[in-house]
Amino acid sequence: MATKKQPKPGQVDTQGGTYIGGNVNTGGGDFVGRDKSVSVSVGGNLNGNMVIGDNNTVSSGATNTQNIFAPVYTAIQQATLPSQEKEDLTAEVKEIETAIVAGEVAEPWLARKLRSLKKMAPDIAEVALAALGGPGAAAGAIVKKVAEKVKSEG
């Protein structure tokens, strides 16, 4: 019969568990020694990223533009406009977003689109321009430049 190997002095055999030889301050959060199962239920829209499992990555591109344009779409839905105008604005913004994701943004085209948006709904345009030109925007240099230019126009 095999005997259990005894740890050397100063060693702890946790058999896969966690050992901490001092104080732990979780700041009010959980302290988990091994695996922890968490159940998440989303009862509405989920903005941003939700990552489940191991070895995950969060890609850029469409995810970043969704984060940038989410406030614009929210502003459109919350605006006190007729539903047809909301649909038109949504289509206009979607066209801009699609071009940015595809990397097919020409400066004159984008400037025209943003000016058109500004004429259709100045308050929605302000949200879009802030999103595109803001420090957290993942849009390229051309997009930021055009957004700032249109924003500064009277």
**Residue 83 has what pLDDT?**
92
Give the pLDDT confidence score for residue 101 in this predicted structure. 80
More confidently predicted of 3 and 28: 28
Give CA separation, 87 vs 5, 27, 92, 94, in Å: 71, 46, 9, 10
CB 143 within 8 A of CB 101: no
Token pair recorded at residue 73:
């779409």
Tens of pLDDT, residue by residue over 88-109, are 999 999 998 888 888 777 888 8
Examine the pLDDT at 82 and tell me if it is beyond 60: yes
Token pair of 10, please? Answer: 């100063």
pLDDT at 126: 85
User: Does residue 74 have a pLDDT over 70?
Assistant: yes
**Residue 2 confidence (pLDDT):** 60
Q: How confident is the model at residue 87 (pLDDT cuts 50, 70, 90)?
A: very high
| Helix, strand, coil abundance in the chain, percent, nearest 5 | 50, 0, 50
pLDDT at 20: 74
| 139: CB partners within 8 A, 6+ apart | 65, 68, 100, 132, 147
User: Taking 60 as the threshold, does the pLDDT of residue 57 lie above it?
Assistant: no
Report pLDDT digits (tens) over 117-153.
999 898 888 888 888 776 555 455 556 667 777 788 7
Average pLDDT score over residue span 12-35: 73
The more confidently predicted of residues 150 and 65 is 150
91 HSE (CA, 13 A, CB side) = 7
**Has this prediction a pTM greater than 0.85?**
no
